Amino acid sequence: MEEIKDTFLHPAVPLDFQNNYRVGAYMQRYLDGFKEKKILGAKCSQCGRVVVPPRKYCGDCNLVMEEFVELPQEGTLENFTVGHVVLEKGQLNRAEAPYVIGMVKLDGASNALLARLQVAPADARTGMKVKAVWQDQVEGEYSDLDCFEPA
Amino acid sequence: MDKKVAIAGFRMAAAPDLETTRERLVFDLSKGLLDDLGIDRDAVDNFVLCSNDFMDGRTISHVFLGPPAGGYMKDQTKVEMDGLNAMIYATMGIISGQYDVTMVLAMSLTGSQASPYLYTDYSLDPTYDRQLKLLNELSAAALEAKSYLAANGYSEELLDVVASQNLGNAAANPGQARRIDGVSREKVKASPYYYEPLRELHCYPPTDGGCAMILVSERKAKELTDKPVWVLGMGRSTDTYFLGDRDLSTSLSAAQAAERAYAMAGIKDPRGEVALAEIMSLFAHQEPLLAESMGLLEKGKAAAAYESGETAVSGKMPLNPSGGPLGGHPLCASGLIRAAEAARQLRGEGGDNQVKKDGVALVHGQDGVCAQQSAVVILGT
């Protein structure tokens, strides 16, 4: 009997379709707020929690969060990490320079917002006050809120 | 539990590159296990497979895996989470009375054929986190690590201690994918940072692998094995997705899943009754974090526990005597491998890493970013 040797065929198997996601009214309102350099959150009428970016449903109360509230531009750096790598399409590469990603709790918010921090890695401190930095031109896009910097 | 369910046997495989195909890996694990037990596929009435459509590059990833697994024209379903969930579903099928013998088989080729980081990347909120491109599996884990260390006043050195203990155990376990001799704390600390405080050797290695396990009813256990390992308790819990909503210094999902499993198994004093734990800690900080959350280590005293040897193979509370996921983490199979490793210990087949203690074993599995979901199974002899 002929022995079947182990060889592998490597056809290209791309996963390259695009999903036309609907972001929904809440994320749309959040991005519309960016056009006026406003940060909006959603408030639950039952538990009073304010989440940013706004979400439609409160997990704890199983209710629709019906109220939008504008949050201040300042908050506290609750947690951060200094990145030494970038991860793109599953590939890990060294970053050109270390950079800071933080979790910012805006004053009055119940949760923390993930953001890029414009601060030298050695100067980042948990608990430091930070404020929002906007792009000069705001167009209602994710990138309008550029980063946070020490207040 | 009204009806008793036992692990009759298991097979595991893990390597950076197994040089195989999905079908062949499944066939080798399944056929090998059937041969171990001296049965053929006719003796198995239910197949619970566990793989991931996205990582496999095809929807309904198990459609081609049924025949090599031995599941042709059988009840065959798939779990698309960590494999410990597949084990729980398989156990439920036997408890229901419908099945006596069930094959659970979890696998992925995330060492050689697709980056494991994509699994998390594509699980992130498409309308926010994937737009901002700041969050990924590693940056999320780093934020969790930082939060855990800060909340408890632990130094970064704890991560080196945990990683060197795990990698030491992995080096002595022939089944592990990452086996490096003599991994000292200094060597761990000399590995480069990914996201602070996590360094390369604090993180799991991309791994090919799988695990097959046969679960049986009490009646069949007597026929098929002299060393049954019984499923005594099971519990699961799922936290919110949003990291900014969570207290990352602890794991609510693990705490609640363990509480449910303890209640089912009648365990009142985990620290006194659990002899060893196999924990799906993908990053060094997760082992003490999850162990504290599940009541296996005293809160705030993990650093002292590791320093005193409490968590070593010979200690009072051995954690991951197998070396854990820092020694190998094939997506989907990882939690099921933890269960097989715990069963190996309870059968006294732990080799150089054998824990010499009486008691039950705790198995933890997780899914999602920073253990959004946890599954816990309690095993005993």
Q: What confidence tens digit (pLDDT) does each residue in B121-172 have?
A: 989 998 889 999 999 999 999 999 999 999 999 999 999 999 999 999 999 9
* Position with higher pLDDT, A6 vs A106: A106
**What CATH number is attached to the domain comprising B219?**
3.40.47.10
Residues of A in Cβ contact (< 8 Å) with B121: 87, 90
Is the full-model pTM beyond 0.90? yes
Decide if pLDDT at B54 tops 90.
no
Of the candidates A27, A24, A22, A36, the residue with the CA atom closest to the CA atom of residue A68:
A27
The span from the CA of B16 to the CA of A32, in Å, is 47
- State the pLDDT confidence band at B318, using cuts at 50, 70 and 90: very high
Q: Closest Cα of chain A to B227: distance in Å?
A: 37
If pLDDT is split at 50, 70 and 90, which confidence band does B314 have? Answer: very high
Mean pLDDT of B86-104: 97
The pLDDT, as a whole number, for residue A111 is 97
Q: At A110, list the tokens.
A: 């119940």
Please state, for a pLDDT cut of 70, what percent of chain B lies above it.
99
Chain B residues within 8 A of A103 when measuring between CB atoms: 143, 243-244
A67 conformational bin, left if phi > 0, alpha if psi -120 to 50, beta if neither: beta
Percentage of residues of chain B with pLDDT beyond 90: 93
Which candidate, A144, A125, A122, places its Cα nearest to that of A133?
A144
Q: Which residues pair with A70 in a beta bridge?
A: A40
* In chain B, residues 57-76 whose CB comes closer than 8 Å to chain A: 57
With 90 as the cut, is the pLDDT of residue B103 above it? yes
ipTM of the complex: 0.94
Chain A CB contacts of B197 under 8 Å are: 81
Q: Determine the residue of chain A that is closest to B24 in CA distance.
A: A6
Cβ of B115 under 8 Å from any chain A Cβ?
yes
Rounded to the nearest angstrom, the gap between the alpha carbon of residue B60 and the centroid of all alpha carbons in its chain is: 23
pLDDT digits (tens, 9 = 90+) for B254-279: 999 999 999 999 999 999 999 999 99
Return the sign of the alpha-carbon dihedral for residues B22, B25, B31, B37. Answer: negative
Q: Does any domain span residue B19?
A: yes
Rounded to a whole number, what is the largest CA-CA distance in chain B? 57
For residue B5, give the amino acid letter. Answer: V
A57 to A66, A69, B126: CA distances (angstroms)? 9, 15, 17
pLDDT, position B268: 98
For A63, residues 6+ apart whose C-beta sits below 8 A from its C-beta are A44, A45, A46, A57
CB distance B243–A103 less than 8 Å? yes
Is residue B189 domain-resident?
Answer: no
Instruction: State how far the alpha carbon of B296 is from the alpha carbons of A116, B218, B262, B274, B353, in Å.
Output: 36, 29, 12, 8, 20
Is A82:B156 a contact under the CB 8 Å cutoff? no
* pLDDT the model gives residue B2: 65
| Average pLDDT score over residue span B99-112 | 96
Which one of A5, A21, A77, A81 would you mutate to disrupt binding with B, by most B Cβ within 10 Å of its Cβ? A81
- Asked if B147's CB is within 8 angstroms of A79's CB, the reply is yes
A81 to B143: CB separation less than 8 angstroms, yes or no = yes
Residues 6+ apart with CB under 8 A from B95: B1, B2, B3, B5
Residue B27 in any domain: the answer is yes
A-chain residues near B137 (CB < 8 A): 87
Chain B positions in Cβ-Cβ contact with residue A15 (cut-off 8 Å): 54, 57
DSSP string, A117-131: E-S-GGG--TT-EEE
Helix axes B286-293, B252-265, angle to 10 degrees: 50
Show the tokens assigned to B88.
């729980």
Helices (H) and strands (E) in chain A, counts: 1, 10
Contacts of A94 in chain B (CB under 8 A): 192
pLDDT band at B216 (very low <50, low <70, confident <90, very high): very high
| Distance in angstroms between the alpha carbons of the first and the last residue of chain A | 77
Per-residue confidence band for A8, with pLDDT thresholds at 50, 70 and 90: confident
**Domain membership flag for residue B341:** no
Greater pLDDT, A17 or B374: B374
In angstroms, rounded to a whole number, what is the distance separating the alpha carbons of residues A51 and A40?
9
> For residue B1, what pLDDT is reported?
63
pLDDT in tens, B323-371: 999 999 999 999 999 999 999 999 999 999 999 999 999 999 999 999 9
- State whether residue B24 is helix, strand or coil: helix
A101 vs B contacts (CB less than 8 Å): 134, 139, 143, 195
Over the stretch A64-101, which tens digit does the pLDDT of each residue have?
999 999 999 999 999 999 999 999 989 999 999 999 99
Q: What is the pLDDT of residue B187?
A: 97
pLDDT tens for A24-61 read: 899 999 999 999 999 999 999 999 999 999 999 999 99
Which one of B194, B196, B245 has the shortest CB-CB distance to A111? B245
Domain boundaries, chain A: 24-150
Considering only CB atoms, A101 lies closest to which of B19, B131, B134, namely: B134
Rounded Cα distance, A92 and A84, in Å: 10
pLDDT at B215: 98
Model confidence over A127-149: pLDDT tens digits? 999 999 999 999 999 999 999 99
pLDDT for residue B40: 97
Tell me which residue of B276, B278, B235, B273 sits closest to B255, measured CA to CA.
Answer: B235
Q: Tell me which residue of B277, B298, B283 sits closest to B341, measured CA to CA.
A: B277
Pick the residue from chain B with its C-alpha nearest to A147. Answer: B132
Domain, as residue range, for B101: 5-114+206-224
**Is pLDDT above 90 for A3?**
no
* Tally of domains within chain B: 1
Cα A1 to Cα A21: distance, rounded to the nearest angstrom: 54
B253: burial class by Cβ within 10 Å (0-12, 13-18, 19+)?
buried
- DSSP per position, B135-203: --HHHHHHHHHHHHHHHHT--THHHHHHHHHHHHHHHT-TT-S---S---HHHHHHSPEEETTEEGGGB
The whole-angstrom distance between B209's CA and the closest CA on chain A is: 18
Is A111 in Cβ contact with B139 (below 8 Å)?
no
